[in-house]
Amino acid sequence: MALDPVIAALQSALAAAPDNHAVRAHLAQLLLDDGRAAEAMTEASAVLAAEPDHVGALRTAAEAASASGEEARATAYRRLADALDPSGTDVGGAHPGPRAATESVPSRPGPPEPARPEPARPEPGGDGFALAMPDTADELLDEWSGTDALSEPEVGTLGPAGVTLADVGGLGEVKKRLELSFLTPMRNPALRAQFGKSLRGGLMLWGPPGCGKTFIARALAGELGATFYEVGLSDVLDMYIGSSERNLRSIFDAARRNRPCLLFFDEIDALGQKRSQLRHSGAMRGVVNQMLSELDGATTDNEGLFVLAASNHPWDVDSALLRPGRFDRSVLVLPPDLPAREAILRFHLRGRPTGQLDLGKLAKATEGFSGADLALVCEQATEAAMEESMGCGEVRPITHRQLVDAVSSVRPSIGEWVETARNYALYGNDSGAYDELASWLKRRRR
């Protein structure tokens, strides 16, 4: 009960300044200390949505998940926090690290502990010489003067992933494939060495638009504890001849300097289009050739570099990019299944005022919706609730009826893609590359 006034004061402060993430992270930790794990997870998740690399919020979320019995999610948050802060000291967060199981929170501050004498530091040149930590900023700068600075990319976005596969709802088959392709070798170095499995690889995520391919790639980077380097079409292509190839080389060089790194190319069908379709575009043929060279050229070393790509139209990707050693594995990311749709709805409604909702019933009513369609449903219901609130002068929560109305007004956006994909599954599947797609289309008709 002693924490209640402090918690109430912090909640009042956040009502006036909802973007104060430092205060929200501190509130999350106090809620956890007070035994309110669910509320702590809500506040920590709100911080992570804005600052995915907030170590304090990650550690608080890990403890909250563990207290709620979600050990897989707790492990994922801890792994990501340890990757960002291997020393276990929180840099900029409200929580210095996981508490021991026997530690309790005092109801009031106790007397200060007596200062412990600092152990004598061995003198340089003595028998017990040990490397001392620098005491001042000047000493630290002197120590770092001979080291290389962090390699920042010239193009694209490089940084921590901020999410893990525990944050991806449903899609069990996709997670299983990713576990076998990337995660198992990474987590078992002895087994990897025994079987000679290399820490390199390429994988293409493909499927209808808006179904979470980019989010899955980011979550995989978080699961690996690797830096996430996202590259788009505009980051590579340039109007001047030869500049696109130089951009691509610079991207791979930056990824190699920051290993372990997950390099993600979105819309790979635009960058790696079939060269047979580029007879009159020598510049784009050069981009495809440069991509092939970077993936497995004679002078390239991609150990510790994981290259992922996403495409809505894999039939347009040059076949040379899909041969073994390049993007030799592919995973079909289909529209979210029932558990995934419910998780997506809950994700997009978190932190918003809501009434009594039956998300399971809404998930059943949204068969065939993509993740982007479900996000639009939540946005339209939110707009309806805001309009009602402005009309009456007080906050009205989002109701189940408003969500149902939004579902009825949003049409699934994958219809055109499905019709195109059906043609390739029926008439262009001699190699069996689209067997999984054909099976899904057959089940969809029932």
Please say which residue of 84, 108, 138 terminates a domain: 84
Percent share of the chain, pLDDT over 90: 19
ω into residue 336 within 30 of 0, thus cis? Answer: no
Q: In percent, how much of the chain has pLDDT > 70? A: 80
pLDDT tens column, 60-92: 988 998 888 888 888 878 888 887 777 665 544
> pLDDT per residue over 25-53, tens digit each?
888 898 888 888 888 888 888 888 778 88
Is pLDDT at 126 greater than 50 in this prediction?
Answer: no
Q: Is the pLDDT of residue 355 over 50?
A: yes
pLDDT over 50 (residue 312): yes
Contacts of 97 (CB under 8 A, 6+ apart): 59, 88, 89, 90
Closest CA to 344 of 211, 220, 164, 169: 169
Q: Indicate the pLDDT class of residue 155, thresholds 50, 70 and 90.
A: low
pLDDT of residue 143: 62
Q: Is the model's pLDDT at 133 over the cut of 70?
A: no
Q: Is residue 292 part of a domain?
A: yes
Judge whether residue 376 has pLDDT over 60: yes
Residue 72 shares a structural domain with residue 173: no
Q: Is 265 helix (H, G, I), strand (E, B) or coil?
A: strand
Confidence of residue 272 (pLDDT cuts 50, 70, 90): confident
Give the predicted TM-score (pTM) of the model.
0.61
Of residues 115 and 167, which shows the higher confidence score? Answer: 167
- At residue 121 the predicted structure's pLDDT band, cuts being 50, 70 and 90, is very low
Task: Identify any residues that bridge with 261 across adjacent strands, giving them in sequence order.
Answer: 227, 305
In this structure, is residue 79 part of a structural domain? yes
Mean pLDDT calculated for residue range 307-314? 91
Question: Do 212 and 239 have their domain in common?
Answer: yes
Domain limit, last residue, from 307, 332, 357: 332
Where residue 398 falls among pLDDT bands split at 50, 70, 90? very high
Q: Tell me: the pLDDT tens digits for 201-220?
A: 688 999 999 888 888 889 88
Same domain, 253 and 205: yes
Model confidence at 365: pLDDT above 90: yes
- Among residues 332, 365, 397, the one where a domain terminates is 332
Instruction: Give how many domains the chain has, as a whole number.
Output: 4
CATH number of the domain bearing residue 372: 1.10.8.60
Question: With contact defined as beta carbons under 8 Å apart, do 204 and 317 qualify?
Answer: yes
Distance of CA 342 to the CA centre of its chain: 19
Average pLDDT, the chain: 80
pLDDT at 274 (0 to 100): 79
Does residue 231 fall inside a structural domain?
yes
Domain identity same for 374 and 310: no
CATH number for the domain that contains residue 69? 1.25.40.10
Give yes or no: residues 306 and 376 share one domain: no
By residue range, what is the domain housing residue 41?
4-84
Torsion angle in degrees (nearest 10) through CA of 351, 354, 360, 365: -110
Residue 328 has pLDDT above 60, yes or no: yes
- 103 vs 9 pLDDT, higher one: 9
Q: Are residues 298 and 359 in the same domain?
A: no
User: Which tens digits make up the pLDDT trace of 96-111?
Assistant: 444 433 344 444 444 4
Q: Is residue 183 part of a domain?
A: yes
Is the pLDDT reported for residue 345 higher than 90?
yes
Same domain, 70 and 170: no
In a domain, 149, yes or no: no
Q: What is the pLDDT of residue 130?
A: 45
Residue with the larger pLDDT of the pair 135 and 192: 192
259 lies in the same domain as 362: no
Q: Is residue 42 in some structural domain? A: yes
Tell me, yes or no, whether 213 lies in a domain.
yes
pLDDT digits (tens, 9 = 90+) for 241-262: 888 888 899 999 888 888 888 8
Which three-class secondary structure string do you get for 201-225? EEEEEECCCCCCHHHHHHHHHHHHC
